[in-house]
Amino acid sequence: MEKILALKNLKKHYPILGGVLRREIGAVKALDGIDLDIYRGECLGVVGDSGCGKTTAGKAIIRLFKPTDGHVYYYGKGAESKASADLAREKKSRIKRLGLRGRLQMVFQDPTTSLDPRMLIKHIVAEPIKTLKRMSGRDLEERVLELLNRVGLTRDHLLRYPHEFSGGQRQRIAVARSIATDPEFIVLDEPTSALDVSVQSQILNLLKSLQKTLQLTYMFITHHLLVVKYISDRVAVMYLGKIVELAHTRVIFSKPAHPYTHALMSAIPIPDVTHQQQRIVLSGDVPSPADPPPGCRFHTRCPFAVDRCFEQEPLLETIETGHLVACHRKNETQKLVSEKFGQPRSDY
């Protein structure tokens, strides 16, 4: 498969300032060194608790802010072996000159706040095309109408303001704006979380159909596991600024290997009275990213922690082709979970 992005040791630390002189006395390690390849045409789901770094990773990739360290190699079409740019290091002017602003886009969680309430829909959708594609006049009008039609809206919607639409329609407008510049890669940051359940499925189907027609690559950030199962080809599970498990969606849902992934799976509500597995309730809160625990970051809440977990940080290692796990006990978690909580389901 052809790579589109390669993240190497990507970090984002926010400084904590203190004292009279406002010196840096620490850092919130929102993203603390992730390595990940994203392939052209796939949908990579990213799941984890609030504050685990998934949105930070998405924003760092499309360079909404500069990462503290690491690399985001972007591979243009056909450039399999040589990266066209390192988005983490390039100057903003060069990113603009290479036209990368339009090729990497983002859809935000809440369309109510991501759309300017004082702008007409036709101006909201036209803005990125005017700025990045230098299109104007009749061509621009036709392009805006074509984009609205693609997301299920019509000419009648052009002269309305965002508050005149429902939540689902507003998210359709946000999607239209994100595809306006012919992007290759879109970060979808919980695009259905703020919507009613009935509308969520419509937006998911719209995103799936656009991905196929426009050959898009997605990074789909969510905390909803069944949504990720529906839309993603692969899933990355994050905990406290790191990836702890990465695998194809089918593998993650049938044989998870990290205790944290098992805990997430056990929280999926299942309408089946014969299902025997107890829910794995994690004790305590997620530790502060300003002071992550030594060794394995999950050891303060892991029901299977052993002495080694308190001292030595586990690396993200391959246990079978395409399945990577960061856990010292990765080869025995299925057995440990079955003994303590009952047989995990393999058919979510």
Q: In terms of CB distance, is 162 or 256 closer to ligand SF4?
A: 256
Tokens of 256: 């998870």
Q: In terms of CB distance, is 88 or 324 closer to ligand SF4?
A: 324
Q: In terms of CB distance, is 49 or 127 closer to ligand SF4?
A: 49
Tokens of 117: 């309430």
Q: In terms of CB distance, is 135 or 309 closer to ligand SF4?
A: 309
Which residue matches tokens 């390192």?
86
> Nearest distance from residue 199's CB to ligand SF4, in Å?
37
**Run of H or E including 105:** strand 104-107
> Nearest distance from residue 285's CB to ligand SF4, in Å?
16
- C-alpha 248/C-alpha 255 separation (Å) is 11
> Nearest distance from residue 331's CB to ligand SF4, in Å?
11
Give the C-alpha distances (Å, rounded to integers) separating 224 from 45, 188, 278: 10, 13, 20
The three-state DSSP-derived secondary structure of 210-234 is: HHHHHCCEEEEECCCHHHHHHHCCE
> Nearest distance from residue 237's CB to ligand SF4, in Å?
11
Binding residues (CB under 6 A) for ligand SF4: these are: 259, 296, 298-299, 302, 304-305, 309, 314, 327-329
Exposed e or buried b for every residue in 82-108, given b needs 16+ CB within 10 A?
ebebebbebeeeebeeeebbbbbbbbb
Q: In terms of CB distance, is 124 or 263 closer to ligand SF4?
A: 263
- 3-state secondary structure (DSSP) of residue 45: strand
> Nearest distance from residue 225's CB to ligand SF4, in Å?
18
Q: Taking a C-beta distance cutoff of 8 angstroms, is the pair 132, 141 a contact? A: no
Report angle CA 341, 248, 29 to the nearest 5 degrees.
Answer: 75
Q: In terms of CB distance, is 234 or 299 closer to ligand SF4?
A: 299
> Nearest distance from residue 280's CB to ligand SF4, in Å?
12
Tokens of 158: 């052009």
> Nearest distance from residue 276's CB to ligand SF4, in Å?
23
Tokens of 76: 């243009």
Q: In terms of CB distance, is 63 or 330 closer to ligand SF4?
A: 330
**Run of H or E including 262:** helix 259-266
Provide the residue type at 348 as one letter.
Y
